[in-house]
């Protein structure tokens, strides 16, 4: 599981290829990670190492009732569009067209890397989301989920 903290403005080329930020490329190379699992979540393309995606997303789904509406919604929304992508020799990934369309990615993007995932946002959508997050965080009194928020 990579734990690289970085944010970078980047550009998708005409084929949907994205050069990952150098700290993230180095961490993936050091961990000998050759691919990522990308999917659409909360307005952006999210990416995980395959083993992390299996552990945190797919494995818990095996314990859930596959016929429950919320489980089906989660599976259809997050698992159905998920795709494995390979890193090329230049440290680029190709964001598949369906995921680019769902996230509204055109050319100018922001890549966030933190905890165990990356997020790829349309630059304008990220600016709006970040502003919203700053406003919400300014009234928070601590870490979410820890009794202080």
Q: Is 133 inside a domain boundary?
A: no
Per-residue pLDDT at 71: 94
Nearest to 108 by CA among 5, 10, 7: 10
Q: Is 57 inside a domain boundary?
A: yes
- What total of structural domains would you count in the chain? 1
**Could you tell me if 87 and 35 are in contact, meaning their C-beta atoms sit under 8 angstroms apart?**
yes
Q: Is 127 inside a domain boundary?
A: no
Q: End-to-end distance of the chain based on CA atoms, in angstroms?
A: 27
Q: Is 47 inside a domain boundary?
A: yes
Q: The domain spanning residue 38 has which CATH number?
A: 3.40.1550.20
Per-residue pLDDT at 149: 46
What does the pLDDT profile of the chain (149 residues) look like in tens digits? 567 889 999 999 999 999 999 999 999 999 899 999 999 999 999 999 999 999 999 999 999 999 999 999 999 999 999 999 999 999 999 999 999 999 999 999 999 998 899 999 999 999 999 999 999 888 877 777 665 54
**Full residue range of the structural domain in which residue 27 is found:** 6-122
Helix and strand numbers, DSSP H then E, in the chain: 6, 8
């Amino acid at each position: 599981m990579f734990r690289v903290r970085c944010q970078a403005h980047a550009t998708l080329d005409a084929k949907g290829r994205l050069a990952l930020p150098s700290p993230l490329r180095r961490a993936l190379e050091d961990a000998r990670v050759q691919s990522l699992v990308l999917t659409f979540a909360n307005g952006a393309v999210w990416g995980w190492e395959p083993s992390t995606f299996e552990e945190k997303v797919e494995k818990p789904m095996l314990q859930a009732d596959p016929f429950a509406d919320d489980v089906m919604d989660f599976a259809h929304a997050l698992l159905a569009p998920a795709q494995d992508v390979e890193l090329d020799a230049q440290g680029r990934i190709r964001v598949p067209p369906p995921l680019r369309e769902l996230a509204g990615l055109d050319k100018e993007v922001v890549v966030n890397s933190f905890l165990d995932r990356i997020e790829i946002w349309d630059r304008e959508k990220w600016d709006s989301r970040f502003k919203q997050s700053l406003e919400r965080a300014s009234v928070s009194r601590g870490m979410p989920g820890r009794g202080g928020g």
